[in-house]
Structure 1
Amino acid sequence: MATIRLSVVLASEARIGPGKAALLESMRDSGPISAAARSMAMDYKRAWTRLDSMNTAFDTPVVVAVPGGTRGSGAQLTSFGIELLARYRRLEATVAALATDDLAAIAARALPESSPKV
């Protein structure tokens, strides 16, 4: 089986790909960065660095800090962050749908994983 991993490279050379999209989804579902990172078996600093790189790549933040209450402070996706994630996932689905026949043709000629590679 073959898959496509879509990475969008911006003019600034910043990227958004499957890992950053998964992190945004995890934040959307889990809440704070620490919980999102834990759910992905990622350390907090790596998650924060990825989120910060997205924040600096766009003219609108993807994630913002939220003031603490009884649960303490945290961060959440902005409306732009939610839109960015939706647009990335839509691009990913479109590319996969358009490439189904080509992926199948490529996968049919690929050696099994256990075969020696040259």
Structure 2
Amino acid sequence: MPSAVKTSAPAPAPRSSVAEKSASRTSADRPQFRLRMRVTVGEAIAVGPGKVALLEAVEAHRSISAAAKALGMSYRRAWLLVDELNRSLKEPAVTAAAGGVHGGGTELTDVGRQLIVLYRRIEERAMSACEEDIRRLTALVSA
């Protein structure tokens, strides 16, 4: 009677160190830290990353419709966000002129421009102040 041949599974590959994994990752594969600040009033988000991005797009395109298109959202969604933002603030961030022969137009007010500057400055300072902890935190994440 033939003897049974015992086969063994291949030995597992040695685990890479975190440093080796980090070195071989592309930037798209690396863990990314994103800060998503919001100012809320009750359950409503008065100011958040989406509204700030929309304000930036309105400033660039001078149109809610063009801003919406640039951000891949519907005009209705953009209009509702602008309306909600304006109602949340003491003074509006966006003013719009009615359409006409040459179309309407949308402009940021001083409050809208100030909101963008403050939001982005807080983001930048928070990221800078926490840089070392963010690096350590993302190093714990495998990709």
Give the helix-richer structure, 1 or 2: 1
SS in 1 for 2:105: strand
Q: Which has the higher contact order (CA 8 A, sep 6+)?
A: 1
Q: Which amino acid aligns with 2:106?
A: A
Residues 57, 70 of structure 2: 8 Å contact kept: yes
Q: Percent identity?
A: 34
Cα displacement string for residues 28-84 of structure 1 (whole angstroms, at most 9, x for unaligned residues) = 001110000011111101111111111011110011122456422232111110111
- Please give the alpha-carbon distance, in whole angstroms, between the structure 2 residues aligned to 1:10 and 1:64: 22
Residues 2, 103 of structure 1: 8 Å contact kept: no
- Structure 2 length normalisation: TM-score? 0.71
Matched residue, 2:93 = 62
- Structure 1 length normalisation: TM-score? 0.85
Query: Does 1:10 pair with 2:10?
Result: no
- Please give the alpha-carbon distance, in whole angstroms, between the structure 2 residues aligned to 1:18 and 1:11: 15
Where structure 2 has 5 or more consecutive residues not aligned to the other structure, the ranges are 1-30
Number of residue pairs aligned between Structure 1 and Structure 2: 112
Q: Which amino acid aligns with 2:51?
A: K
- Please give the alpha-carbon distance, in whole angstroms, between the structure 1 residues aligned to 2:111 and 2:98: 19
Where structure 1 has 5 or more consecutive residues not aligned to the other structure, the ranges are 113-118
- Please give the alpha-carbon distance, in whole angstroms, between the structure 1 residues aligned to 2:51 and 2:45: 11
